[in-house]
Amino acid sequence: MTSPSDPWGPSPDDPWTAPDPSPVAPEPISAPPVAAAPGPVIVQIAEIAVTSTTVHTPAGDIPLAGSQWLVSDYWFSQQRIPRWAIVAAIVGFCVLTVFSLLFLLVKETVAQGTVQVTVTNGTRQYVARIPVTDQGAVTTINQQVNYVRTLAAL
């Protein structure tokens, strides 16, 4: 609406101007293209998820075909006095002083450490460090990596 005295029309900053009665319809929002899903997770090794074509890591995806896998275990065993033996020695000290100290001779073997799993494909590499507390966990991780090695060779 332009008036004869105002050839340029109403100013957009003019607070007394009514809004345009014909609103412009917003443009439809299009979703970004979605990549094809590589399939379900076959093996999960700590934070590494392996599908039939891709190795998903927190640092990015690595192709499974041609990938190389390395497992290094850094775990050790140590001996220590169990908590129950310490409590029994303290409680027994009040009753039988000499015999309660024999509880402190009891030792248990505790295994702890990490297993390091490295996946490499070309210039891409990812290292996962997995805490372990027994030899069974180390064996399980080695079996999982051996299975993934067979998938990578296909």
pLDDT at residue 143 in the model: 93
Lookup result for tokens 């499974």: 64
Provide mean pLDDT across the span 142-154. 90
Ordered strands of the 60-63 beta sheet: 43-45, 48-50, 54-57, 60-63
Q: Which parts of 31-154 fold into alpha helices (H)? A: 83-93, 97-100, 135-153
Residue 52 has pLDDT above 90, yes or no: no
Provide mean pLDDT across the span 71-90. 88
Pairing between β-strand 108-121 and β-strand 124-132 as defined by DSSP bridges: antiparallel
Provide mean pLDDT across the span 112-118. 92
Provide mean pLDDT across the span 41-58. 90
18 part of a folded domain: no
pLDDT at residue 35 in the model: 47
134 part of a folded domain: yes
Residue 73 has pLDDT above 80, yes or no: yes
23 part of a folded domain: no
pTM listed for this prediction: 0.59
8 or 78, higher pLDDT: 78
36 part of a folded domain: no
6 part of a folded domain: no
28 part of a folded domain: no
Q: Could you tell me which of 31, 89, 65 has the C-alpha nearest to residue 153?
A: 65
3-class DSSP state of 19: coil
8 part of a folded domain: no
User: Domain range holding 137?
Assistant: 43-153
The pLDDT tens digits for 8-23 are 655 656 556 555 555 5
pLDDT at residue 18 in the model: 57
Total number of domains in the chain = 1
125 part of a folded domain: yes
